[in-house]
Structure 1
């Protein structure tokens, strides 16, 4: 094979979404390598998010801005998400596939990281926000592809377990970020220029690593999952779910609202954790508070590993309900507590937050069939709640000069997210869709030949299939 042929075989461009492939019935063993690569991406954006939380307080100190303005970082980061998930990244995903979006997102992430250098040279908070927006665009693109890919790459029965396990490495990244930030950003110095230079060097290293990882993805074989593959999976587990026009999938939009409010609350809590610790526990330094944040993110990671293990034996929807209910309870308690008790409430809040985001993602896109990629874009777009809630919290904290009281804001948003957890457990239409996939045998050892035969029959009978779903093709 010549060089041109080799490069063409690795390009992965232009995916035929009307073709059923073997990716529809991948086993755990067959999906191991691509899932390993994608899991690295989860660590990356967890690390970026963890750094963002420490930068919030760091820029308050070095650039002398108030709490409300510092939330511009979160607004820039998460404000980029819907542009990616509902716009360019989703378009690329539907036309060119998952692999292309992975590479595209990594390149954007790398460019954004390098843009931190000139922002630091000019000591420009606006420049940092611009670079953060580019980073958010890259990570939003990665999430647009990575979250749905994890749920479909392998047996559908274990989709929640896969995404929660991978997201646990995302949580590890959120631990490493604040730890690095506590040592790199919060050293005892009055030299603001030197403090900003440390930010530049950290992001330069990130940019170089990300470009190297993009190269690895380019030369790796990543199985593509087409729209027809998803229609096949739904046909094996649901009755006429794929016949619905996209805009009638109301369960998806409820999940998107839940994702919006949950993510907004989660980001606000982490973004102002250091402010909360230093204000409610007098004598606590910024560096110490950053270490507390890292510890809370560690509890978050433990919660995800534990939650993914529990889901092997207990239905994911029940685990989700218990975790999110506890999140609301402990977050509400943190509003009135101070010192050790307040920090303990936030530790417990982050522990129980752990499974919520990936489980909303996995449950929200069940039953979408050929609308899977578009639907996942809406769920990832819900992450833009992280651009909305932190500024509200920051504004309330500035008005009352009390970050602890301001935590009532994420509590209210978290209650809205909780309504989806209730619905998937007690509303029959929600429960039916969720549980049918949970009983699927697609991709399990021993059922491979049967699934492949069914997939081939689906492909060979495409003319009848297309006629049956003509309305869907027109709507799409």
Structure 2
């Protein structure tokens, strides 16, 4: 399962279209898994009668998998290459999805959380390998724009995930605590049983599709990116020390931690925000706002990639972060339909943040540093676990509107990163 030597001539590059399509498809696949979690939070809150903090553990378990597995994934990729890492990632993804069947049969919330951890472990392999691979497929100076364009296909998967959840997981049946308390024991058991088992078939199908994709990739010729650079890269001694001793790289890690926390937090609690501030809205109806967010996110990705022809990526990052501070603070101060629409628009301006921060983190590094650097940047996705749980705690003690102050603070950190990374350097020449 080793990779083929990279093409350096135009003729061989023309024959590599299938591997490139398969790599881009990975952005779609992990987008679907990530945003199905937003549906699961609302679904498990009903099925297991959870607090906002307890439901937020869905994201905590998921992003803990990213944090713990990203570095082993980077080491595995350095040893066995991109293709092997992708196939192993898909196998883990499928295994986690298939675990949803016994978890639902046992009505075990803990087993659901473990299944999500396994899925995230697979996605850690996929993201660690796909992101740096895309930055190598062309001139270094356009790596940031190229990654933004590839990442534009990620929201398509996210939208697919939401639609799967909205139409195949959400039952449309809402029961108040009073109505549940008035049920007989048999009725209550049947209600919770139906809500829990709603996830079985969608995740079974996902698991089978992902396994089939792993087999397809296994038997596809997969070129090695930048073979000459890989051969010239150092053995790896001191690579980690160099990365962690570089303030610019540490800045990228911090910015990515807070960005992922902001993105996951806003999307995870959009349904909750709409239901809490727009009375009478069911979870199935509120999911339309989440779909609108993802459409804005996808539009923002393509728009951002186009704007980067004319505007420096770091400057665009700074402007978008400033706009999102204003939008999330508006959602805090004006809970209701206008606040919900502000969160929808916020997704447009979040669009360029992850790939831009990622590309800035690995910019100008040799292949060995890029692989370990990618692993470290993927580890910062733990921000989705930490800050989403924090939002849940704030919501339980105050309100879901107040909890939106957490992503507002995250965007302030990103603004500071963009200013320190780009503006002083431009001013000082």
TM-score calculated relative to the size of structure 1: 0.80
Question: Which residue of 2 is the match for residue 396 of structure 1?
Answer: 394
Partner of 1:323: 320
Counterpart of 1:384 (choices 376, 382, 385) is 382
User: 2:403 and 2:64 mapped to 1: Cα distance?
Assistant: 22
Alignment equivalent of 2:373, drawn from 357, 375, 380: 375
- CA spacing shift, 1:29–1:251, aligned 2, 3 Å: farther
Identify the residue that residue 119 of structure 2 maps to in structure 1.
135
Check the 8 A contact 1:259/1:382 in 2, yes or no: yes
Which residue matches 1:460?
A: none
Residues 120-199 of structure 1 mapped to structure 2, 5 A cutoff: 120-189=104-173, 191-199=191-199
Partner residue, 2:74:
90
Distance 1:208 1:430 in 2: 53
- Counterpart in 1 of 2:187? none
Q: Given the superposition, is the C-alpha separation of residues 22 and 139 from structure 1 closer, same or farther in structure 2, using an over 3 Å criterion?
A: closer
Across the aligned residues of Structure 1 and Structure 2, the Cα RMSD in angstroms comes to: 2.4
User: Take 1:399 and 1:157, find their aligned partners in 2: how far apart are those partners?
Assistant: 47
| Secondary structure at 2:198 match in 1 | helix
How many pairs align? 406
* Contact 2:99/2:115 (<8 A) preserved: yes
Does the 8 Å contact 1:425/1:431 carry over to 2?
Answer: no
Q: C-alpha distance in 1, partners of 2:327/2:204?
A: 38
Q: 1:300 to 1:246 in 2, by over 3 A?
A: closer
The 8 Å contact of residues 169 and 202 in structure 2, kept in 1 or not, is answered as no
Q: Does 1:67 align with 2:52?
A: yes
Structure 1, 248-257 or 423-432: larger mean CA deviation? 423-432
Q: Say if 2:278 is the partner of 1:281.
A: yes
Residue 200 of structure 1 aligns with which residue?
Answer: 200
CA–CA separation in structure 1 for the residues paired with 2:102 and 2:133: 35
Please state how far the C-alpha of 1:313 moved relative to its aligned partner.
3.0
Partner of 1:445: none
Tell me, what secondary structure is at the counterpart of 2:99?
helix
Find the aligned partners of 1:103 and 1:266 in 2 and give their Cα distance.
27
Q: CA deviation at 1:160?
A: 1.7
Change (3 A) 1:314 1:32: farther
Deviation at 1:283? Answer: 1.9
Structure 2 partner of 1:229: 229
1:23–1:384 CA distance, 2 compared to 1 (3 A): farther
Q: TM-score when scaled to structure 2? A: 0.89
Aligned to 1:425: 422
Q: Does the alignment pair 1:302 with 2:317?
A: no
Shift of residue 185, structure 1, vs aligned partner: 2.3
Task: Note the C-alpha offset of 1:366.
Answer: 0.6
Displacement of 1:425 in angstroms is 1.8
Instruction: Give structure 2 stretches of 5+ with no counterpart.
Output: 176-190, 234-238
Query: Could you tell me how far apart the structure 1 residues matched to 2:428 and 2:131 are?
Result: 22
Conservation of the 8 A alpha-carbon contact between 2:315 and 2:423: no
Change (3 A) 1:251 1:176: same
CA deviation map 1:52-105 (0-9, x unaligned): 10110111011111110111110111111122211x211111111111100010
